[in-house]
Structure 1
């Protein structure tokens, strides 16, 4: 019973932080006009790299674990690259795609999760699960056709982010739960975040070379800019930490199904906040995707 209460508490902490980061990303990248998704992602992982030391080195909530082998390090490095790909692609898609459509595509994550879980771990789900994946994908196709502001490039980025997020869930599940790995979630984030920073710094310098100066100039004009970046990056740490913990105490597929419910809430809130246009066809497709996503659980 206590284990179930702990899991519910984790999910309750994961929901508001996840929705908050999504809506803040959308506001910064679209409404505020800060069109630098790679730098924004780098801010997230930098905060994760710094804050990861707090529960381990300062508060000593969990002991620090050493990396056991070069193979384990390579898995962590791969997870970092996958994570960067997912978040950067998702942030790029949020520049022009409304949150409702972004979450409709993201609701297909269980499809990619089931595929990657079988490919990497040979874990086969029940045939009913695979059958439910068909209307999940169909719902996104309907939502795509009814999207008022459809951009092919951003749609492709959204699909890439969804696939990468699913792959990340499977790989992190292996690192957190398998007998040969069994890294604590806080330690996994501690090792993963600095690698992600190393990956994103050259990408930022190459693809967004003037972003540092632009950010400083924006901060001088509007102090709120720094506050938004700070809150957004700090919240991203809690999203990643609770993401790892929920995956450890449930499963990768369960996390994606819970994510569909999160997406439904985020869609309603984003429509109220940003007044983005929605169509009846698009909402029918999204509703079909979310409903069938829940049936996977």
Structure 2
């Protein structure tokens, strides 16, 4: 759901400001995230800086930043061909793909109750948005690969936050500059001339730039909240919460703004809410079982190694 609002924000920015340069917008967002994290750590001293050797930055933080960028690029590509509602339908599979990836690649095993709880969570969102489908094969494929990228990103973030004792603000501090570096080159090559032309031709440039920069500040808050939630929970829980927010948003739009919803939408929201409640109950039961393994991604042998330059007694 975070990505839903993020992509909706990009779409709104492009439509209202005629700023049709998603890579540039993403670069601005990551630049603002870099500046915000620097101010929070270096100036405001909100959190102490966790020193990370250059080797570890490239080996452990760069891959997550790269997948983060791939996820954004694929989302922007898919939005050129399919509506946000269809994209959200595809993104509803993210909790399931997260569990499957952790099971296949990271060799993490889940109780059958976790698998069972995902059925209503995914199925409910499918019913909620299936009536608004507008199919396009290329956009569909881009969104599906983006779904896998989202799962991979959250798994890598969970591994970094839990396995390496990072906190959310330090994660943004190290991740955002990498993401800016990755996106800046294609943004300059593909959109540079268009941005320059826009600056010369658009009438209200200053107010538009203020809106874009403000969206960058909000993006910093969003990135911080994403890593904070993953740090406080797990990758699967984070993606389940995303589906829950979709259902809640639909219900609130009906209750407060009286936006019409079909019977299938209402049933889908109800099923999703029941599934999320069941998932929370299962997670609570598992956490109460002292003999059960932790639901978080188990550390691999690589994760158990200290960071380069870290003293052994800190492990």
Q: Which TM-score applies when normalising by structure 2?
A: 0.74
**How many matched pairs?**
278
**In structure 1, which of residues 186, 210, 221 is the aligned counterpart of residue 169 of structure 2?**
186
What residue in structure 1 maps to residue 62 of structure 2?
Answer: 77
Moved more, 188-197 or 97-106: 97-106
Alignment of 1:1-297 (within 5 A): 21-30=6-15, 32-68=17-53, 70-71=55-56, 73-134=58-119, 146-178=131-163, 181-217=164-200, 219-266=202-249, 292=275, 295-297=278-280
Q: Decide whether aligned partners of structure 1 residues 150 and 265 sit closer, same or farther in structure 2, where only a CA change above 3 A counts.
A: farther
214-223 vs 112-121, which moves further: 214-223
In 2: Cα distance, 1:126 partner to 1:152 partner: 35
Structure-1 separation of matches of 2:107 and 2:114: 15
Measure, in 2, the Cα distance between the counterparts of 1:270 and 1:25: 21
Say whether the 8 Å CA contact 1:89–1:158 is kept in structure 2: yes
Contact 1:52 1:190 survives alignment (8 Å): yes
Asked which structure has the greater RCO (Cα within 8 Å, sep 6+), the reply is 1
After superposition, what is the alpha-carbon deviation per residue over 1:173-217, rounded to whole angstroms, capped at 9, x for unaligned?
111111xx2122211111111111111111112333423214413
Shift of 1:151: 2.5
1:234-284 deviations in Å (ceiling 9; x for gaps) = 111101101111111111111111111222355578999xxx999876786
Q: Is the 8 A contact 1:26 1:95 kept in 2?
A: no
Partners of 1:81 and 1:196 within 8 A in 2: yes
Cross-structure match for 1:10: none
Deviations 1:74-125 (A, max 9, x none): 1100000000011222233334533332222222110111122234543221
Q: Is the 8 A contact 1:176 1:184 kept in 2?
A: yes
**In 2 relative to 1, CA 217–143 (structure 1 residues): closer, same or farther, beyond 3 Å?**
farther
Unaligned runs of 5+ in 1: 1-14
Q: SS of the counterpart of 2:240? A: helix
| TM-score (norm. length: structure 1) | 0.78
Distance 1:71 1:101, change over 3 A: same
Q: 1:19 to 1:39 in 2, by over 3 A?
A: same
Shift of 1:25: 1.7
Q: For the residues of structure 2 that align with 1:28 and 1:82, how far apart are their CA atoms?
A: 24
- Separation of aligned partners in 2, 1:39 and 1:294: 39
Counterpart-to-counterpart distance in 2, 1:271 and 1:92: 30
Which structure has the bigger radius of gyration? 2
CA RMSD of aligned residues (A): 3.4
Looking at structure 2, the residues matched to 286 and 91 of structure 1 have their Cα atoms a distance apart, in angstroms, of 26
Q: CA deviation at 1:46?
A: 1.3
Q: Distance in 1 between matches of 2:260 and 2:84?
A: 10
